[in-house]
Structure 1
């Protein structure tokens, strides 16, 4: 009886302590919210007394004071004229030299045919039937699949459905054509764009780079004009989609009144690994078929129909560090089988790259309140050698939506933790990984399509796309919604959005 009484007392104490913690957390929340509102409107609060004093002073001026001021201006007519001319000249220079706005008119994500879907059971049976994997490798792949966050409806290329598989050049070209042309056909239909109006074409695919190039395949298919500026980016990993956007943005600063099309994809057919090295088997379990086509414009007339405006692109490259350079590495194993090896240091290196990237991005997007807290914490640590934890800026104050590259469950978990995000902020990334798998550089566009399909994108909302890639790179793109955005026709989520979000097991 006495022991039971002790337990009740301890439980009561625990509940009391828990209640205190809840009240403290609520109090901190409102204190921080009040602080943010104060800093946000600090300039206004400072200007109010000055404006009031100016109005009061003007009200006390007599007619003689006004006449004296007018005569003073007449005697200094030359000075007034010169100041006015300088003001007009400066305004003209600013208008002529300021960066042109880049608008995202629309984008399209490829939805593969249903006969390319693969579930866990079929995947494992097919892997076993190929005869290329030993029992240990098969068990390893099974465990990875169960913990990956992928669902039962992802897609593999047609070449992988045969026994034995057919990773030929012809099949790889077939996969590339299906993905790129499928996304582009839908984009051109949705935007009513004449392909001959495209002035800039940027295609990124890391592992498949045939001759003629993928960009040449698109030019041939749609008979694009002969003076088009075309670029083909290879070997740049899953973050190349943001790099392609950055390149297109720079080209749109040079070439006036034109359209740029960016095509982001990856090709699996010739890059499936048929060996038993564990670090090279992971991509087999994660990477799936997918691709996206994005239409950008620098025409001011397109602002009315565009979905988003590009605000910032921040790129970070850690390739000077040997560990970072080798953490995602294409190589051959002991049997001469080619694949992409993922290092055990990958998450640590990704965290380092993210830290560097947000150090640059933070001052561009964070409200002044968060920047002040960060600077004060840093100064206290440096000046007083205080044992103070570095302040992690609250990026939820800067962004309404997050599109984190769906590279794997661990990637999303790590960013959710490091950026102190809530489950709703990583929902688009988790559901994209579940429904489509890791589609490499195009995953951030499937995530944006998910947000649109859910009807969550409102005018003025800011979106942060974060992508990681071999090299090692971390790249960010920031967009602002120009209107309440609805899902485009033939969105890849159109037939299944009502089933999401789903609970992720494992």
Structure 2
């Protein structure tokens, strides 16, 4: 018996032509896409669709007699009506007085280092060889990391690292801190017109450099901030500390009326350059670069008119109770006593778990009802029919956000989130280009990404932005902003001189 299947003939005459499967599947995919769009619209507007016909029928049935009867009832129960009305007014007043205050982002500024601090791959490797601290195996390892990192040829390193030999002293580390913080703050004060004396809250985060006096004291001294300012200096909290600082500033703005909060996010490389041959500790040398961002927040209602964004949500997830997560990003000394930060091979797996926990909390706050229903049904079905169903449904966060600012920690981080959240290349463009142009600037990277979106003039009124960052501990933190107006790039945008050249193709 011949088991070979025959295909129907396909001719230009009267016979029917059968499309191959690969041509049929895209049509099915398009139909399913339209079905999901209709489903999403119906679920989002379900209450309106159900109640609108009811109110139309009630209004249509009401006549002059019914309205007159209602009027007579109010007259005969005037005392009851006044009491109820007074209760509604008092309740509304209490709600307005105790509800959370809106927090607005007036503006932010990302530091743009001078041209002489640029470091190409050749210069990086040349300086590494000339220091004499690295063996051949470590040099080859650094070269491979650079080539696969997603970084470009125009990132920046501090002046002390450019020197031969490098000068990693307390004095040069202070110089780097002053250069990046004051550089971004000068531009921020210039663009907002806010006086330094009007700042009520100051938050600075820098994970690896914590001098005495503190970084906040350096800023207070430089700009002569007022004596009763609430200052906070956050250290050791990794690349996600920028979102933590925003959350702290938000809490302070709930307690203190009509004031401004200044948030500075940076990292210091000068004293944290690793001069050993432990490969897990060499990776930060290849990825981390100079950067700083300053943001000015306000809780003044009048500032809404000139603000760029409104803070909607902050969600923080800490996995430090797990030993593996706690140790995956760890500052330590190698066997020769040289200090550096070790990155574990388990880092991406731990980041994935932290992300899952974070979006489990964030999802119900931002996702439309249609996505929440699908996710809930998939979880229940997966538990009831474990052998028949695969992984739970992954919510479509593209329905909740128009823009994504994923921490530019490295190429693998961006790849993993693009895959996990089912994002398109356009959604992760800002992150990839920031990594290429500025490298991993730690906690400030999410601001360089937002600046990229603005430089591309893609930010429209009502657009929602998801800033998501990972940090040692291990932490995954999210901040959600909504654009109050069409946001144009500021004069001090760090992409101003090169945005026309982006996006660029990043080779594998």
1:265-309 Cα deviation digits (max 9, x unpaired): 000000000000010000000000000000000011110100000
TM, length-normalised to structure 1 = 0.96
Q: Distance in 1 between the 2:19 and 2:278 partners?
A: 51
Return structure 1 stretches of 4+ with deviation > 6 angstroms: none
CA pair 436-84 structure 1, distance change in 2 beyond 3 A: same
Equivalence for 1:329:
330
* Aligned-partner SS, 1:402: strand
Q: Distance in 2 between the 1:153 and 1:304 partners?
A: 37
Number of residue-to-residue matches in the alignment = 494
Q: Distance in 2 between the 1:135 and 1:464 partners?
A: 42
Range with bigger deviation, 14-23 or 303-312? 14-23
Q: CA deviation at 1:435?
A: 0.2
* Aligned-partner SS, 2:486: coil
Match of 2:454 among 442, 452, 455: 452
CA pair 386-70 structure 1, distance change in 2 beyond 3 A: farther
8 Å Cα contact 1:380/1:386 also seen in 2 = no
Find out whether 1:235 has 2:236 as its counterpart: yes
* Aligned-partner SS, 1:396: helix
8 Å Cα contact 1:108/1:294 also seen in 2 = yes
1:451-470 Cα deviation digits (max 9, x unpaired): 00000000000000000000
What aligned pairs does 1:300-311 form with structure 2 within 5 A after superposition? 300-311=301-312
Q: Distance in 2 between the 1:239 and 1:117 partners?
A: 25
8 Å Cα contact 1:239/1:467 also seen in 2 = yes
What aligned pairs does 1:95-494 form with structure 2 within 5 A after superposition? 95-385=96-386, 387-388=388-389, 389-494=391-496
Q: CA deviation at 1:77?
A: 2.1
Q: Distance in 2 between the 1:164 and 1:237 partners?
A: 28
Match of 2:503 among 488, 501, 504: 501
Q: Distance in 2 between the 1:241 and 1:297 partners?
A: 17
* Aligned-partner SS, 1:306: coil
Equivalence for 1:49:
53
Match of 1:31 among 20, 23, 35: 35
Equivalence for 1:3:
none
Q: Distance in 2 between the 1:264 and 1:117 partners?
A: 21
Q: CA deviation at 1:377?
A: 1.2
Q: CA deviation at 1:400?
A: 0.3
Q: CA deviation at 1:78?
A: 2.4
Q: CA deviation at 1:66?
A: 4.4
Q: Distance in 2 between the 1:307 and 1:475 partners?
A: 22
Range with bigger deviation, 189-198 or 109-118? 189-198
Q: CA deviation at 1:70?
A: 3.0
Q: CA deviation at 1:438?
A: 0.2
Q: Distance in 1 between the 2:480 and 2:293 partners?
A: 18
Q: Distance in 2 between the 1:14 and 1:269 partners?
A: 67
CA pair 361-14 structure 1, distance change in 2 beyond 3 A: farther
RMSD over aligned CA atoms reads 1.5
1:390-410 Cα deviation digits (max 9, x unpaired): 000000000000000000000
Q: CA deviation at 1:352?
A: 0.2
Q: CA deviation at 1:381?
A: 2.1
Match of 2:23 among 12, 15, 19: 19
Range with bigger deviation, 234-243 or 47-56? 47-56
Q: Distance in 2 between the 1:253 and 1:497 partners?
A: 37
Range with bigger deviation, 441-450 or 14-23? 14-23
Q: Structure 2: give runs of 5+ residues left out of the alignment.
A: 1-5, 10-16
1:107-129 Cα deviation digits (max 9, x unpaired): 00000000000000110010011
Match of 2:62 among 35, 51, 58: 58
Q: CA deviation at 1:69?
A: 3.3
Q: CA deviation at 1:67?
A: 4.2
8 Å Cα contact 1:329/1:342 also seen in 2 = yes
Q: CA deviation at 1:82?
A: 1.7
Flag the structure with higher helix content.
1
Q: Distance in 2 between the 1:240 and 1:70 partners?
A: 60
Range with bigger deviation, 67-76 or 207-216? 67-76
1:136-166 Cα deviation digits (max 9, x unpaired): 0000000000000000000001001112110
8 Å Cα contact 1:148/1:409 also seen in 2 = yes
TM, length-normalised to structure 2 = 0.95
